[in-house]
Structure 1
């Protein structure tokens, strides 16, 4: 395809058509079901789906089928089926993915900004869901339009926009199974729910960590007791839990001690991470808002990247059994509850990891304390991209040169996108393009979330060229 035509079409579409509609999407408080138990009655997820559906229906996608699919008791999904261009050979289905649900608004937005009020300032679109991941459906459709406008080719493309990603995509496996025959043989997956260290090049995500999520309760007393009378006789439930956690994690280094949660980093992924450390030596060390004098766990860029992409970690994300400080009396509490969130290496078995964690927390417990692990424990595998096909390698080199003017980089991501693991298992021969417009400072999930508009244009342009390359083989 002719480069100038693709770029002009993408930029024009974004400025005149995408930005106004995307701003309208930002204004819809479409909280993910985990944060809006009454999502059916609130109607915000349905409103977000209808908003984007209406926009796509007005686009120039010859022969496209656009529908809302909703299984009983599940969140709605927007399904867009675009036939292959006339000159394309049968290359299977391109499955393009994004989501329309959002994280909670949280407080602390800067002056003049608000989670549900879209604001364009200095080339950025501010608002919840702007970069995570509301823009993705617009970018996918705009890329397909650019292919048509430039006389290019694309295989049959199916766009799935779900509304439960921020809740762990619990409904997505059911939808993939429900739509399996309609999806056909998927040969390329394009996911736009990712990003990278800067806005100067195309970033690919080649691995995602898995996750364990479990709540542990340790109880030693049948009822709380006066601490002056019982301390020194009965151990604190918090101390018992501390001892149990030390079996799992080194409090000094953060190292996870269980073999089932550790893997060897593949040589190809290590080479990618070393290349990222060269171009972004301060990427992870400086991006987070540490307190004055605060430091990251290492000063070495490579170590931080390995920690975030391929090493297991533990975060304590919830607690119960504690009174507020203002209400705390001299009491030895009967129990302590903590919610543990493990991030797992991309190739680790989450089921084996969960079994190992259960065993170590419940075996030979100090002082005979009662340990209870809640029934709602979650275990999700990570994902490691397949080997890159020659056509994709060539296409990436081209767009890196023509669209961004510098080589692309591939890296892991410390978080999870459940859909990728599901598709990787279901379509083992497919190629994966996991990329996006999110930067390390885009503030996803926190105040002042923003989308870099110029970079979103470039990502859209890159996707258009890769769609054409895929169709031509």
Structure 2
């Protein structure tokens, strides 16, 4: 890897963020580009297209030689902004991913703040989409500009900014099919939509859990009956449900019974969890607990959240509220289950195993239905090439003053798994700017501006490393 002058990169990044990025990013925040899942009339409202056009116009204005920016909008699909920058003398194609769609406002914002109102307070830029993740395209292009200003080299750079990530990226696979020929040689994927544990270092997302969400309905009778008349004659549907759920998860320990839903934890992920626990102890303290945590060990709690399967009942149908509940024995009860799966478990295999376990040899021959499935596959980062390890070490020394650290996430990001399958030979750097203080998806969302600038410097170093490896 050819070393780059980081002092020049830092100066160029600071200048570009102050003069170019902040005014345009503030304008992007003002666009209520709510993701399609939360706005059925998104096409008529035109805000997703407005956000893509806003970002495209800025990209074309900043003067990067040879830059092309096109908004693609196939019939019925959310817009996709594709920005391509030709190489400046290096090899390799870097694909940088971000998104422009946003969560809805979701609750009351603090005085003086609002979802579509960009406000800078101290080191933070407030507004919906600031950190999740309107900053991403700006950071990518500012990194290219700063790298060139510092005399570094980059290969071909392609920036993809979709407008339906908050809806599960339903349109991205088709767009990637359309772009398959032009994106056949991707050697580095940089994802900028993930989370970080703090703003002291570069955090690398090393794994993402998958998910299986389903509704399970148990029916024992066609109607509810007075419990004094039917109790002991009709089986209680909630008891049947409890027995069935024990086929998935041991209710005494929380351990998953079905082998298809478990996976071995790689040694390197155990090491990462121990490192994270040492850097940020008292993992459970950030939650409003009124009980003990699920384990006494911070490392084990992290592994529980990132590599072990968990089950949460997120919805219940068939029972009335406790206040005013009548003494009826109900004929049917349904729960909505959210199962988080280990990164290496295929969600389709998990769905088959769960459906089979819940619908075979059912107590009392009750009717059990498993419906409305939503499946998300997890992801485990591939091994790093020596050139990437060297580049990350340099970024730790020159940009953050601390070595990077790995972090597994308990949730899923569908597009990362998708890109992992598309580019099995590529190196991956999945990171972001969203810490717990960023209020991602919540009121008072904000972007830490100094961290965003350091992340921009890191992207410049990665581009240089991929081009000169």
TM class, shorter-length: over 0.9
Q: How far off is 1:108 after superposition?
A: 4.2
SS in 1 for 2:337: strand
Corresponding position of 2:40: 37
Corresponding position of 1:228: 228
- Contact conserved, 2:198 with 2:435, CA < 8 A, in 1? yes
Corresponding position of 2:430: 434
In 2: Cα distance, 1:44 partner to 1:321 partner = 39
Q: Structure 1 pair 17/243, CA: closer, same or farther in 2 (3 Å)? A: same
Corresponding position of 1:368: 365
Q: Structure 1 pair 330/113, CA: closer, same or farther in 2 (3 Å)? A: farther
Is residue 141 from structure 1 mapped to residue 141 from structure 2 by the alignment? yes
Corresponding position of 1:208: 208
Unpaired segments ≥5 residues, structure 2: none
In 2: Cα distance, 1:243 partner to 1:23 partner = 53
- Contact conserved, 1:224 with 1:332, CA < 8 A, in 2? yes
Q: Structure 1 pair 29/334, CA: closer, same or farther in 2 (3 Å)? A: farther
Corresponding position of 1:286: 285
In 2: Cα distance, 1:105 partner to 1:319 partner = 26
- Contact conserved, 2:192 with 2:430, CA < 8 A, in 1? yes
Corresponding position of 2:246: 246
Corresponding position of 2:99: 99
Deviation string, structure 1 residues 384-425 (Cα, Å, up to 9, x no partner): 111101111111111101111111101211111111211211
Is residue 460 from structure 1 mapped to residue 456 from structure 2 by the alignment? yes
Q: How far off is 1:3 after superposition?
A: 1.1
SS in 1 for 2:247: helix
Corresponding position of 2:274: 274
Corresponding position of 2:10: 7
Q: How far off is 1:59 after superposition?
A: 1.4
In 1: Cα distance, 2:293 partner to 2:130 partner = 28
Q: How far off is 1:325 after superposition?
A: 4.7
Q: How far off is 1:280 after superposition?
A: 1.6
1:158-169 to 2 correspondences below 5 Å: 158-169=158-169
- Contact conserved, 1:125 with 1:453, CA < 8 A, in 2? yes
Deviation string, structure 1 residues 21-64 (Cα, Å, up to 9, x no partner): 22222232222222222221222212221221222121122111
- Contact conserved, 1:33 with 1:167, CA < 8 A, in 2? yes
Q: How far off is 1:327 after superposition?
A: 6.2
Q: How far off is 1:216 after superposition?
A: 1.5
Is residue 350 from structure 1 mapped to residue 353 from structure 2 by the alignment? no
In 2: Cα distance, 1:252 partner to 1:193 partner = 36
- Contact conserved, 1:127 with 1:450, CA < 8 A, in 2? yes
- Contact conserved, 1:287 with 1:440, CA < 8 A, in 2? no
In 2: Cα distance, 1:165 partner to 1:316 partner = 25
1:257-272 to 2 correspondences below 5 Å: 257-272=257-272
Deviation string, structure 1 residues 268-320 (Cα, Å, up to 9, x no partner): 222222222221223x32333x15x4443223210111011111111222233
Is residue 61 from structure 1 mapped to residue 58 from structure 2 by the alignment? no
Deviation string, structure 1 residues 333-391 (Cα, Å, up to 9, x no partner): 332222211111111121211111111111122222111112x4122221111110111
1:388-427 to 2 correspondences below 5 Å: 388-427=384-423
Q: Structure 1 pair 70/429, CA: closer, same or farther in 2 (3 Å)? A: same
State the number of aligned residues. 466
- Contact conserved, 2:187 with 2:466, CA < 8 A, in 1? no
Q: How far off is 1:433 after superposition?
A: 0.8
Is residue 127 from structure 1 mapped to residue 127 from structure 2 by the alignment? yes
Is residue 237 from structure 1 mapped to residue 229 from structure 2 by the alignment? no
Q: How far off is 1:237 after superposition?
A: 2.3
Corresponding position of 1:218: 218
Is residue 46 from structure 1 mapped to residue 57 from structure 2 by the alignment? no
Corresponding position of 1:447: 443
Unpaired segments ≥5 residues, structure 1: none
Is residue 21 from structure 1 mapped to residue 24 from structure 2 by the alignment? yes
